[in-house]
Amino acid sequence: MIVTGDMYTYNNADGGGHMWNVVAMDDGENYIVDVTNCDEGTIGAPDHIFLTGCDGSVSQGYECKWGTGNAMWVRYTYDEDTLAYYDGAQLTLSSEDYEYVPQEDPDPPQPLLGDVNGDDQVNAADLLRMLRYLNGEKVDFDESVGDVNEDGRIDLGDLIRLLKILISSASSGSSTPAPISSKPGNSPSETKTPPTG
């Protein structure tokens, strides 16, 4: 939003009419953006009055500092029009500089090399699936993770590499890839407790 008022600097203690922006950011705070005074040769150049933390209040005005020198602050006061048009919450500025925090993807896609049947596990089922794929059968096959040895094509070399991966992970006792149940449908982790009595 655009606000108006007076702007005071060290060289201009009486203030002068000015127009600037107050921007509501994604952190729920409002920040000052005074692009006019971030231009080359102005007091705020290059970005001192851009999403900068300011101390003060809506009624008393805000002082934005980016250092301790005389020419390293600007004070802004809202004029009556601005105070009448916006409510106080809209004009309240953050005392801290805005910090951009990239939103983390809560569930980033993790392509699992070799998981050609797309069940998020690399196991013998993928080996079998690849065998059928290479045999020319029409099977669901995720080619994006099929190039296991990463040589740019999907062929017997990938089948062998996948086999080696499965053998090495089995011998190292790694929990991933998941163990294969000999009986499909039965969870290998399921254990039956004999009845007591």
Count of residues near Ca ion by CB under 5 A: 9
Q: Is 30 in the site for Ca ion (CB under 5 A)?
A: no
Q: How far is the CB of 171 from Ca ion (least distance, A)?
A: 20
Distance CA 88, CA 82 (A): 10
Q: If binding is defined by CB under 5 A, does position 146 make contact with Ca ion?
A: no
Q: Nearest approach, Cβ of 150 to Ca ion (angstroms)? A: 6
The gap between the terminal CA atoms of the chain, to the nearest Å, is 76
Q: Write phi, then psi, for 42 (nearest 5 degrees).
A: -95, 170
Shortest distance, CB of residue 120 to Ca ion, whole angstroms? 7
According to the binding rule CB under 5 A, does residue 128 interact with Ca ion? no
Q: Looking at 1, 151, 168, 174, which residue binds Ca ion (CB under 5 A)?
A: 151
Among 94, 149, 159, 162, binds Ca ion (CB under 5 A): 149
Could you say whether residue 37 binds Ca ion (CB under 5 A)? no
Question: Are the C-beta atoms of residues 73 and 79 closer than 8 Å to each other?
Answer: no
Give the span between the Cα atoms of 93 and 88, in whole angstroms: 10
Q: What does each C-alpha distance from 96 to 1, 12, 27 come to in angstroms? A: 19, 25, 11
**SS3 at position 80:** helix
The contact pattern for Ca ion, residues 87-126, with x = CB under 5 A and - = no contact, is ----------------------------x-x-x-x----x
